[in-house]
Structure formats: structure tokens, C-alpha cells
Amino acid sequence: MKYALLSVWDKTGIIPLAQALNDNGYKILSSGGTAKILKEAGLDVTEVSEYTKAPEMMDGRVKTLHPKIHGGLLGRRGKDDAVMAENGIGPIDILAVNLYPFKEMSGKDLPLDELIEYIDIGGPAMIRAAAKNFKDVAVVIEPSDYEKVINAIEKEGLTYDDRKYLAAKVFTRMAAYDGAISNYLNSEGRTVPTSYTVQFRNGRELRYGENPHQTAAVFGDTGIAGQIPLQGKAMSYNNYLDTDAATGLLREFDEITAVIVKHNNPCGVATGDSLHEAYLRARDVDPVSAYGGIVALNRKVDSDVAEELASTFIEVVIAPSYTEKALAIMKRKENMRVLILPEETDKEELRTIDGGALLQRTPKITQENWEVVSERDPTPDEIDAMKFAMKICKHTKSNAIIFADKNSALGIGAGQMNRVNSAEIAIKKANFPLKGSVVASDAFLPFADTLETAAEAGATALIQPGGSIRDQEVIDAANKLNIAMIFTGIRYFRH
């Protein structure tokens, strides 16, 4: 007799699988809610408790933890047959199990004594047993694999490679499942966990890393990591980095916005009444750097924007959607990668270092701690421009100095070892008049020199975190120059 054991939390597709097993000579074992819906579908099912002669107990905590179940999964065909026969253990050839959704439920603010009931015990024990014995047992944990199993049992059965593939999925799933529990329990009552487990799936090899002599891969099936171009060449290591940077900045804005990034720094950011207007403004901030850049847009791309994108060299375009005409236009640039902007994922920033990793979480920008420290209050337009500039500052490599008005970046100085040089670069690169602009700094001004440089270029307001021992010197300089200045209390170093 061939046995299949089905016990699933997610019931998607389980009835067609059970029907195919029934039709192909398998006796079905099942328990709990799975057995109930299979019986309601008219399928012949034997309850696990009937098969083991042991009742479910402890509110279902113990139901499949039995030698007849685990012996049937772990028994080596041709080696353990006598022991199995002596103990009345039948071989279980196919196991379909998926687990209690601990990670999903942990996001629902349940009390721990309730959440702990979503830590699956019987399911992991069974799938680990079956996966260890994949030479003889097929274990399927994802409904997306049911069709593969059905096709196989209706033909010549699952091959060794099929069973090995399915077994590997088990250990991948268990690593993530146990990691989620570990992360939760190690985080309770703490700002960060004492131990941290992370898993990325869907690994794909890239042509090379940042440079041709470096090997590289990308992992992930959601967010930017999971994106496959609608057209164009395959994504490169640098493309993924820059697209992630551009998207992170773009998501700071609700209004119609275009962001252009080059080498992980914004080189153009603008809003507009239309996407076409916003893109042209962003491109004109620094047209030389925009060449070969990454363009991120937060509205549907129509033909007018597509024509502009196709008129120059762009590595990647990412937007929520595209008209058919826009896609046809962009096909003229056969190497240009065109991506769909995905839903934002909850992500912790993780960076590897020698011997370990760094983890951080970055909250959204707020005005909660903003304080006017100058004698002159900023005007409403200056306030709007400061909000705009600080969003860009947050996503620009330190030291960052941003000149802006309320609709566009005007000059961007990034990645310098001192703040004055960043200001000088921003001024030098500006393609628009800076008179009446505002300036944002990602960290405090240790001296008045940056403010004086900005004022000389035409800036009338400045926003910075504050916190220097020389804050008063800088405030005095602002008052002398009639500069409106705000302290935010929040620093945005980006390394």
C-alpha cells in the first residue's frame, strides 16, 4: 500500500492534489482541518489518530508525533523494512505539509502566550524527516509545486532529482522559519535582537560585481531585488545598487516626482505638474551626470516622457507603469532596462563587515523637532524648499550639501571629506541661479564657513541638525547675513 500524508495550514490546491493521489492508488492520511475539507470534498481519508491508534491531544499540539508517522517517513527502503513490518509501520511515500504562519502572526501584536501557539512542531518534524529521507520520500511544502507532483505521479513518478529539489526547499524553509522565531524572541523587550538571522532566496548570478574582476549575485524575490526588466539587458550589480538608491529617495515624495541617480548619489530631483515637467527639471539639474544614470519616476510613463528617455543614454528606468505607446518608444533603446516600481518592502538596512554585520533602521523624515534658531523666521516657500532639500540630503553620501527651491534640486555636493568642499561643488555644478535658494546639510556645521559660502552664492535659508559646540557662532553668522536657519535635531550621515 502506498501512503501519502497531507496536513496543511494553507489549503490552496490541496483538494486537486488529494484527488490525484486517490486516483493513482495512494491511501491518504490526514489530520485536523485538512482531513475535514478532504472528507467534505468526498475523498477517502484516514485520520492520523485512527492510523496511529493514538488520539490528538493537548489542543492539537500532539497529533503527528508518533513512531508510525516518523518511522514511515524515515524508514530506509530495503534496509529498515523488517523493523517497519515488525512494528506495523507502513512507508509514507509522499508528504504534503505547510507550516503555521508564525512570521505573519508575529506582526499582529499578539500576546506572546497566544503567538507561541503558531510555532509549529509536528510540521517541521515531519518535513525534516521526509527531506532527510528524500531518496525514498517526496516532500512538498509549497502549493506551487503540487502540479509538478500531480504530473509526476500520473506518469512515471518523481525522480531522484525531483525529490532532492523538494527536500532542499524544506531546509531553506526551515532555516527561515526558525530564524523568524529566533529573531522575534531575541528582540522582545530590546531595541535590536541579540542574535539576528536573515535569509534571501531566488539567488541569481550576475555577470560581475562593481568591476569585471569581481564575482557577484543578487538574492531576493520582492522589492528591487526581485525585479526583472520588461526590456533591455540583464541588471548589473551597480544597476541594482543605484536603482535601490533612486527608489529610496523617490519614495520620500507623494507629489509627481522624478529622481536621477548616478553612482549611488542623486544628480537630479524635481517635482512638477506633470511627469514630463518633473523629469526635464530633474535632468537639467546636472545633465552631464544624468547621462548614463538611473531614472526613477512615481507616475505612469506616457509617450512624451518616453521620447525624452529614449533621446539620451539611460541605464535603467523604473516607474509604476507604462503606456503601450511608451514601451514601444523605449524599445528603440534596446539596452535600456525598463522596470516596474514594486511595492515598498519593510527592510532593515544590513551591511556586512569583516567578521560580522551592521544593522540599522531609519525612520521617515518628520518635522517634530524642527526649531527656528535664527532671528528671521523662514518664509512658507523657504519651509517647503527646506523639506524638499532635506529629503535629498537623507539619500546623498556624506558630507552632503543640497541647494534647492521648493520644486527642484539646484546644486548637489556629495561625498566630500569636508562640508565646505561639498558646498563649493554644489555651487560649481549648479545650472540654475542660486539666489533665493535654501541649503540643507546632512550634519551640523562645525564652523560658519559653509553658511557664509552658501549665502555668498545667494542662499537665503539653511537647515541643519545643529548640535555643534559652535552652534552659537553659526547662529550669529546667520543673523548677521539675514539667513533664516532651522535646527532639525536629526543627522543624516550616509556612508
Quick: pLDDT tens for 1-22.
788 999 999 999 999 999 999 8
Written as nine digits, the cell of 398 is 556624506
Q: CATH code at 301?
A: 3.40.140.20
The Cα 327–Cα 303 span in angstroms is: 8
pLDDT in tens, the chain (495 residues): 788 999 999 999 999 999 999 888 889 999 888 989 999 989 888 888 888 887 777 877 777 788 888 889 998 888 888 888 888 888 999 999 999 898 888 888 889 988 989 898 888 999 999 999 999 999 999 999 999 999 998 888 889 999 999 999 999 999 999 999 999 999 888 888 889 898 898 999 999 999 999 999 999 999 999 999 999 999 999 999 999 999 999 999 999 999 999 999 999 999 999 999 999 999 999 999 999 999 999 999 999 999 999 999 999 999 999 999 999 999 999 999 999 999 998 778 899 999 999 998 888 888 888 999 999 999 999 999 999 999 999 999 999 999 999 999 999 999 999 999 999 999 999 999 999 999 999 999 999 999 999 999 999 999 999 999 999 999 999 999 999 999 999 999 999
Q: Are residues 305 and 417 in the same domain?
A: no
> Which residues belong to the active site?
132, 263
Residue 30 parent element (H or E)? strand 26-30
Quick: pLDDT tens for 14-69.
999 999 998 888 899 998 889 899 999 898 888 888 888 877 778 777 777 888 88
The Cα 442–Cα 247 span in angstroms is: 19
Torsion on CA atoms 40, 43, 48, 54, rounded to nearest 10: 70
The domain boundary residue, chosen from 320, 340, 360: 340
Question: Is residue 352 one of the residues assigned to a domain?
Answer: no
Question: Is residue 348 one of the residues assigned to a domain?
Answer: no
Residue 261 parent element (H or E)? strand 257-262
Count of CB atoms situated within 10 Å of the CB of 340: 13
Q: Are residues 386 and 284 in the same domain?
A: no
Global pTM?
0.86
Closest CA to 166 of 205, 130, 122: 130
Q: Are residues 74 and 124 in the same domain?
A: yes
Q: Are residues 473 and 379 in the same domain?
A: yes
Q: Are residues 151 and 109 in the same domain?
A: yes
Domain range enclosing 251: 217-340
Q: Are residues 176 and 225 in the same domain?
A: no
Q: Are residues 331 and 377 in the same domain?
A: no
Question: Is residue 354 one of the residues assigned to a domain?
Answer: no
